[in-house]
Amino acid sequence: MTARGRGRIERGAQRLRFVRWPGIAALLLVSLAACGFPPGEAFDPVSDRGSDISRLFVLSLALSLGVVFLIAALLFLIVIRFRDRGDKSQASGKTGDPRLEVAWTVAPFLLLLVLFTLTVRTMRSVQEAAEDPLHVRVTGNQWWWNFEYIDNGDVSSPNELHLPVDQPVEFTISSSDVIHSFWVPRFGWKVDAIPGQERTMTLTPTDIGVYDGACAEFCGNQHAWMRMLVVVEPADDFEAWMQAQERGAVEPQTDQARGGQDVFLNGTCVSCHTIRGTDADGTVGPDLTHVGSRENLGAGVLDNTHDQLKDWIRDARAIKPGILMPPYPVEQISEQDLESLTAYLEGLK
């Protein structure tokens, strides 16, 4: 090598030495920042089995981080300790210690064996049947959820799931069209809703509260608006809610609402919707027997208020394009009838 070439390499090495320490410091900072990620909802479960899964996850994460830091520290030490000091004699080092090789083969094996055993145990406990659970049939539809309480005369509560706290529940999950995924992050895990298959998910909700759920499998253009509301409540509140749901629809109380009921029963609504206690028994769309008691409309796309309910009936596709519910053309319904229809439906508490 020419003297000029050597000089260039030395200058390059010097420059590298200059950036080395700030570089290492930046790398450490980035690694530390990555450790401080905000805990997501799935890591704070409110179900017994979700907690089992979460514990396993945290343990696996801690072990993995331990391994990463151990390797990084060893690598760092080796790089410092055996760096090129310009001492040629160093190159002819001793051969490796066979005990070391045994150690770094056996240690990962044991670590993986522990994780494997714990994983299989957690999978078993998560899939275990519960004693005397509440049975809820969950059906995914483009793009709404149906929750049917099999033990209570198939009471249907679309997009709004009510559960008593500290009581086991067994969901039977399926789909009427494409693959969806039943996901309430705070439950701790999710189960796919597959057409033609029934899958079960068993858990006991442990904390009272209102939780959000969503479809977690892309299922078409309104996938993002396939939400659900999960209300975990004291047993008494749940019983009261269930008794109200088991009753048929309330009779309309005002002339306007009675007019709205006529519009509903004589129009196209009945071909898709059920209102128990009336002649409406369509099953394509959500059951509306107690639609007035729900928080949201259109699987979470709107709050259930008078004006938004009216907008929804007038032209649901303008709000949620692609859905089956057709708009009510202005030539088919007067503003007055639309108002009556809205009054009738919001009275269905």
Residues that bind ligand CUA (CB under 6 A): 140, 143, 180, 215, 217-219, 223, 226
User: Based on CB atoms, which residue is closest to ligand CUA, 135 or 223?
Assistant: 223
User: Based on CB atoms, which residue is closest to ligand CUA, 183 or 241?
Assistant: 183
State the minimum distance, in angstroms, from the CB of residue 180 to ligand CUA: 3
State the minimum distance, in angstroms, from the CB of residue 175 to ligand CUA: 8
Integer distance in angstroms from the first to the last C-alpha of the chain? 90
State the minimum distance, in angstroms, from the CB of residue 288 to ligand CUA: 21
- Identify which of 128, 131, 121, 162 has the alpha carbon closest to the alpha carbon of residue 145: 162
Contact of 321 with 222, CB cutoff 8 Å? yes
Dist CA 156 CA 146 (whole Å): 7
Apex CA 165: angle with CA 304 and CA 47, to 5°?
100
State the minimum distance, in angstroms, from the CB of residue 140 to ligand CUA: 5
Contact of 183 with 214, CB cutoff 8 Å? yes
Look-up: residue for tokens 């929804």? 312
Dist CA 176 CA 244 (whole Å): 27
Q: Can you tell me whether residue 75 is helix, strand or coil?
A: helix
User: Based on CB atoms, which residue is closest to ligand CUA, 140 or 213?
Assistant: 140
Write the CB contacts of 290 (distance below 8 Å, at least 6 apart in sequence).
Answer: 157, 244, 245, 249, 348, 349
State the minimum distance, in angstroms, from the CB of residue 222 to ligand CUA: 8
State the minimum distance, in angstroms, from the CB of residue 311 to ligand CUA: 23
User: Based on CB atoms, which residue is closest to ligand CUA, 140 or 252?
Assistant: 140
User: Based on CB atoms, which residue is closest to ligand CUA, 215 or 341?
Assistant: 215
For residue 165, the Cα-to-chain-centroid distance in whole angstroms is 20
User: Based on CB atoms, which residue is closest to ligand CUA, 226 or 309?
Assistant: 226
